[in-house]
Structure 1
Amino acid sequence: MNKNLKDFLTSINKTHSISRAADELYVTQPYVSQTIHKYEIKFGTPLLQRNKDSTVLTYAGQRLLAYLIEQDKNYVHLEREMANIAKFKTGIIRLGTNHPLGRYFLPTILPEFHQLYPDLQVQFIETPTSKAAYLLDNDELDIFYGMGIEKKSITFQSLAASPVYLIISKQVDCYDPQLCGVITPLTNPQLLNNQEIIMTRSDSKFQQQVTHFITAQQLTLKTIAVVPDMDLATRIVSHQLGLTFTTMEALIDNNLLTAKNVNIYKVPETMLAIEKGISYKTEVTAPIQTMIELLLSYLKEDV
């Protein structure tokens, strides 16, 4: 839309004259008339009512002028908001994790981040690693903590390889009542052969590593359920159905470390382990860098 249109309509509304409006704005009368006529054709309705002694805005002209005034105000607000975002005064930081990791670090680091950036909003999601890779790559996520993402456009800072655990309900043939309440090293993976297993989704990187382990050990397992995440899989086993692979966080969340009705095995890290760390785009803003540093500080202490 012509940037002078608002000024033309404002001046005509004040002077009730195209010629006086042109003089006031230091432009020619034909230019004012032609500009307004162009928009009368475009909108299909008169913007001016030309009387014998004066020219006034029609209702359509008044509505267009009101819209243009509001548009200018919105643009001023937009410029101010963009300036604030550029100075990190407002905006959004999008943080993702594998379930259920966020509940451990977010309550600790969020208050400190809020003190540094009180007007920045943190949006938190729990998502599989494969989806996090897509979101990061498409600028829909700023930081991800969880299993490693291998992409040229994404930086991954590894923190540690976390062990994987096997939880077995007493309904499984290889359940041993003498091994309840303790964590036992898994020295013979073959005891899992022909047992019933609760799997997580195939697009989960955790499940992909578990499947690789099962294949490498030449195990045959019967999948009886596929669930969204390892926390739910762990909970199902705790209610006495099958076995599953899980993490220490899920075991703690479900109060299973001292449970008397399940066996817990620790898988040797040479066979299976989860490499966890922080993934983010290579170029980051100051708030994102601060969030990364807070995460690293917390997680290194935790490790």
Structure 2
Amino acid sequence: MTERELLYVKTIAEERSISGAAKKLFMTQPSLSSCVQKIESALGTRLFQRTSTGLVLTFAGERYYQVAQDILKIYNDFEIEVSDINNLKKGRVTIGITVYLATFILPVVLPVFKELCPNIELAIVEKNSTELEKSLSSGEVDFALMHMLPHEESASHTNTDFYPLIKDPLVLVTKKDHPLKQFACARAGVAYPQIDLTKFADEPFVMVTKLQKIRQVADLILHKAQIHPPVILTTKSYETARRLACEGIGVTFTPLQYLQIFPGSYSPDYYLVAEEYTPYWTLCVAVQKNAYVSRAAKLFIRIVSEKYGANRIDL
């Protein structure tokens, strides 16, 4: 049963004649009669019978009419709902994001988005970058806010489109007045001094786990610097690693962007690392290739790019 077939039978039942229904449907009478005959033939039963007062429904016709009413109402309601979704009056956006990114991005972006779209439901899925890529592939999230490694920017990606927002440097974290501070070089107009990373070849490091992108970036930095310092402790928490570095347990790396979310109760020294070691990762929006992206999701992505990107993203 197609939508038009349902409409044909419903209209004939209400008009009680083929001619009256044909006029209402802007069809010729023979064409409508032919359509009804095909419907009855496919069903194997008559839907109408002629009487002196016009066409009336058979028992099967009455059931068809009731079903037609119900289904056509569902069609109509769905069209209204889609219109509301397209006009940002309702809908749902499922956002994949890493825990630390959520901490400083969502409080900035959500108020703007909710003011523009107060009736759009938001669902937040917090995972690490590796898990978020799986969530994208499975359709669990509409898009993801995550980081890419330096070499991933130029790589070909089979299932995901990445839209870079901004490069975020990693800084080296040490306890206050670390003995190697003497090798730091301050530069005018730069918040933190730069330090020769090779001086830390024998220093103990506190790292996050190898499954985390930040660890992968850190390992690449050390590899490019051609040093292999001992890793004395591994944790899943950037903040734990930073606090341990503050206490002199070891040194660590942390993203410059994350410094704004760390509490001020711990005050280590931060150092920039030479560009030759590509000491950064890139904040990006990740979208499954060829996937439908709703207007609401596109708006959220645009707001994020305006707040945090070098260029505005319009999907």
Normalising by structure 2, report the TM-score. 0.62
Matches within 5 A, 1:14-29: 26-27=58-59
Equivalent residue, structure 1, for 2:175: 169
Q: Which moved more, 1:188-197 or 1:131-140?
A: 188-197
Q: Which amino acid aligns with 1:253?
A: I
Report the Cα distance in structure 1 between the residues aligned to 2:234 and 2:90, rounded to whole angstroms: 41
Equivalent residue, structure 2, for 1:207: 215
Aligned CA RMSD, in angstroms, stands at 3.9
Pairwise CA distance, 1:201: 1.7
Report the Cα distance in structure 1 between the residues aligned to 2:194 and 2:258, rounded to whole angstroms: 18
The 8 Å contact of residues 166 and 310 in structure 2, kept in 1 or not, is answered as no
Partner SS state of residue 226, structure 2:
coil
Equivalent residue, structure 2, for 1:17: none
Partner SS state of residue 202, structure 1:
coil
Equivalent residue, structure 1, for 2:106: 106
Report the Cα distance in structure 2 between the residues aligned to 1:178 and 1:291, rounded to whole angstroms: 41
Match for 2:309 among 296, 300, 303?
Answer: 300
Equivalent residue, structure 2, for 1:140: 140
Q: Which runs of 5+ in 2 are unaligned?
A: 1-55, 61-69
Pairwise CA distance, 1:204: 1.5
Q: Which amino acid aligns with 1:236?
A: L
Q: 1:115 to 1:255 in 2, by over 3 A?
A: closer
Pairwise CA distance, 1:276: 1.7
1:134-172 CA-partner distances (Å, limit 9, x unpaired): 111111112222313763332211122221100012697
Q: 1:214 to 1:244 in 2, by over 3 A?
A: same
Matches within 5 A, 1:263-274: 263-271=269-277, 272-274=279-281
Q: 1:265 to 1:178 in 2, by over 3 A?
A: closer
Report the Cα distance in structure 2 between the residues aligned to 1:86 and 1:133, rounded to whole angstroms: 31
The 8 Å contact of residues 92 and 123 in structure 1, kept in 2 or not, is answered as yes
Matches within 5 A, 1:1-303: 26-27=58-59, 80=77, 84=81, 87-88=84-85, 89-148=89-148, 151-169=157-175, 174=180, 183-186=192-195, 188-255=196-263, 259=267, 262-271=268-277, 272-282=279-289, 283-300=292-309
Normalising by structure 1, report the TM-score. 0.64
Equivalent residue, structure 2, for 1:70: none
How many residue pairs end up in the alignment?
236
Pairwise CA distance, 1:178: 9.2
The 8 Å contact of residues 194 and 271 in structure 2, kept in 1 or not, is answered as yes
Q: Which moved more, 1:245-254 or 1:148-157?
A: 148-157
Report the Cα distance in structure 1 between the residues aligned to 2:220 and 2:97, rounded to whole angstroms: 23
Q: Which amino acid aligns with 1:288?
A: A
Q: Which runs of 5+ in 1 are unaligned?
A: 1-23, 29-72
Q: 1:77 to 1:199 in 2, by over 3 A?
A: farther
Partner SS state of residue 300, structure 2:
helix
Equivalent residue, structure 2, for 1:11: none
Report the Cα distance in structure 2 between the residues aligned to 1:216 and 1:83, rounded to whole angstroms: 57
Pairwise CA distance, 1:214: 1.6
